[in-house]
Structure 1
Amino acid sequence: MISESQLADTFEQQRHRMLALAHRVLGSRSDAEDAVQEAWLRLSRQDADGIDNLPGWLTTVISRICIDTLRSRAARPEVSIDQGLPELVVADDRDIPEDAAVLSDSVGLALLVVLGSLCPDERLAFVLHDMFAVPFAEIGPIIGKSADAAKMLASRARRKVQDVPRPAGDRREQRQVVDAFLSAAQSGDFEALLRVLDPDITWRQHTARGVTVTTGSGEVVEAVRRGQGARITARRVLVNGEPGILGWGPSGRPLSLMACTVRNGRLVGIVSIADPVRLAGLDLPEPPDA
């Protein structure tokens, strides 16, 4: 017979995996933590001796909690994450160790944004199969479909996700590229700026007026050119675990936040937030001279 302490120990061993899965599916760390807590409550009410494969059982339970949450959001769009943005976690980037916890479970903002555009069944099927290697035979019953239907959902999601810029290279290289971009932008060195930008960079901008998506390094350079002379203080930060840039105005009020995706020594993707209301609701680092 499994004791309560043994059950709790086993659950704690699976907590990190469940939290990572729920975060990718729900796009919110707080919602993911709530889902894990609900999984524990369901386990505590279950006859554990009747569970043959506890890790598999927990994966199924956390997945069903997540799909219920996603479907509830879809039915009540007024409570879904605004403008397609997932929860943002912004922190100081002080060259912390590469194996630090904040990096080990990070999910790129660009990927979370696209995952958030998928329908609930597509999102869960893709995350379970492509990120956590759960077989389609197990995914099907979770979403109430056949294994073949689950496979089709994941394939459809994969096509939508495949063009999302993914970071490559170690964290130190990513920081260097972001620093080079920031330095070139601040100094107005447009040739240096072009060298650090991928020609086909994707720039997704979230403003108070809505969302725009542009491609091409010329768009970014032109935006930097228009901003020359503005009294902005900016420095590198971590945005959902990846190097980014936070800018403040003369009063110390945050003006913009950028999440940067680096591949092969160049910026290939930027997600920027310049919505004052959205920025005011975030827990952001203080400006350098605060």
Structure 2
Amino acid sequence: MSETSPADPVGEAFEAQRDRLRAVAHRMLGSHADAEDVVQEAWLRLSRQDPATIRNLAGWLTTVVGRISLDVLRSRQTRPETPYDDRLPELVVTVDDGPEPEDDVALADSVGLALLVVLESLRPGERLAFVLHDLFAVPFDEIGKILGKSADATKMLASRARRKVQATERPAAAGRGQREVVRAFLAAARRGDFEGLLRVLDPEVRLTVDTADGVVVVLGATKVAAGATARVAAGAAARGRAVLVDGLPGFVSWREDGTPLSVMAFTVVEGRIAAITTVIDPARLASMDLPDPG
């Protein structure tokens, strides 16, 4: 909610920028509540600033929102498990019986979740550079000031992020390779092969778990691998089958009584798992249109 006054010209100018700033923060953080907090903090900083010292208000506010968002992203990396208010989007689960050509078409036609989770898996600097430049057309020299890097170094960060994002936009060519990586992950988890898990996980892998109490995020290959063995072993002890989840390679497991236990989706970038999305919330699982147990 706005705390500015209509009679305040600085407040009016800020309100004119609010929606854009909220969009920038949400793209950076993936959380509506966090985005609102960032925008409000930007307003507080603006209210303490002498307006005469700001030559370009839109650019100044974008820089402030970028810096605050960067701090939030970096603080998340210091906390292995972070609860989020936002729920995962609706997921479409279909049977995946093998690397048939029509499956690759399904992958090509449905990459919404892949784009979402690969953006979440980017490192803070990569995400800032990509979001601000590619999505909001902020010049690299201005982004570099936020990151404390040169324009050329910032271009490299954006380019690296762009390659990761583009990898999810062309999944058809990588469909078979994605399946092989996921199979290697599942096999290593069932064996309790910790080193094998680390070989197929990106060091910055992001695990998002939709639980009955909300969404929990775990960051980093070591922590994701540590929890993967027990999680996958529990699923393997029941019944399971390969699926496509919004076009991504996935796995569904059921309890012996036929009730769903979990749905997992994997985003594979450059031969490693960059993100895993898991749904274990019983109510959410019950509402999903899942295939029959294999």
TM-score (norm 1): 0.53
**2:24/2:132 contact within 8 Å kept:** yes
Question: Separation in 2 of the partners of 1:257 and 1:274?
Answer: 6
**1:115/1:161 contact within 8 Å kept:** yes
Equivalent of 2:137, from 130, 133, 138? Answer: 133
Pairwise CA distance, 1:287 = 5.0
- Output the amino acid matched with 1:62: V
Question: Separation in 2 of the partners of 1:255 and 1:119?
Answer: 31
Give the RMSD, CA atoms, in angstroms: 4.5
Equivalent of 2:164, from 153, 160, 167? Answer: 160
Gap regions ≥5 residues in structure 1: 92-106, 168-196, 213-221, 225-238, 240-247, 260-270
- Output the amino acid matched with 2:156: M
- Output the amino acid matched with 2:151: A
Question: Separation in 2 of the partners of 1:73 and 1:41?
Answer: 23
Question: Separation in 1 of the partners of 2:144 and 2:208?
Answer: 38
- Output the amino acid matched with 1:200: G
Question: Separation in 2 of the partners of 1:81 and 1:159?
Answer: 28
Question: Separation in 1 of the partners of 2:140 and 2:44?
Answer: 26
Is 1:114–2:118 an aligned residue pair?
Answer: yes
Structure 2 match to 1:142: 146
Structure 2 match to 1:9: 12
Equivalent of 1:223, from 242, 254, 266? Answer: 242
Question: Separation in 2 of the partners of 1:258 and 1:9?
Answer: 46
Question: Separation in 2 of the partners of 1:286 and 1:274?
Answer: 14
Pairwise CA distance, 1:22 = 0.9
Question: Separation in 2 of the partners of 1:12 and 1:40?
Answer: 9
- Output the amino acid matched with 1:140: G
**2:129/2:158 contact within 8 Å kept:** yes
**Aligned CA distance change for structure 1 residues 207 and 17 (closer, same or farther; 3 Å):** closer
- Output the amino acid matched with 1:26: L
Pairwise CA distance, 1:207 = 9.1
- Output the amino acid matched with 2:79: P
Pairwise CA distance, 1:123 = 1.0
- Bigger mean CA offset, 2-11 vs 30-39: 2-11
- Output the amino acid matched with 1:78: P
- Output the amino acid matched with 1:29: H
- Equivalent residues in 2 for 1:11-160, closer than 5 Å: 11-74=14-77, 76-80=78-82, 87-90=86-89, 108-160=112-164
Pairwise CA distance, 1:27 = 1.8
Question: Separation in 2 of the partners of 1:114 and 1:81?
Answer: 19
- Output the amino acid matched with 2:72: T
Pairwise CA distance, 1:155 = 0.8
Pairwise CA distance, 1:116 = 2.2
Gap regions ≥5 residues in structure 2: 91-110, 187-206, 210-226, 232-240, 247-253, 266-274, 289-294
Q: How much identity, in percent, do the aligned residues show? A: 54
- Equivalent residues in 2 for 1:170-189, closer than 5 Å: none
Structure 2 match to 1:104: none
**Aligned CA distance change for structure 1 residues 48 and 257 (closer, same or farther; 3 Å):** farther
Aligned length: 200
Structure 2 match to 1:182: none
**1:25/1:124 contact within 8 Å kept:** yes
- Output the amino acid matched with 2:152: D
**1:64/1:142 contact within 8 Å kept:** yes
TM-score (norm 2): 0.53
Pairwise CA distance, 1:163 = 1.1
> Per the alignment, in what secondary structure is the counterpart of residue 223 of structure 1?
strand
Question: Separation in 2 of the partners of 1:199 and 1:73?
Answer: 30
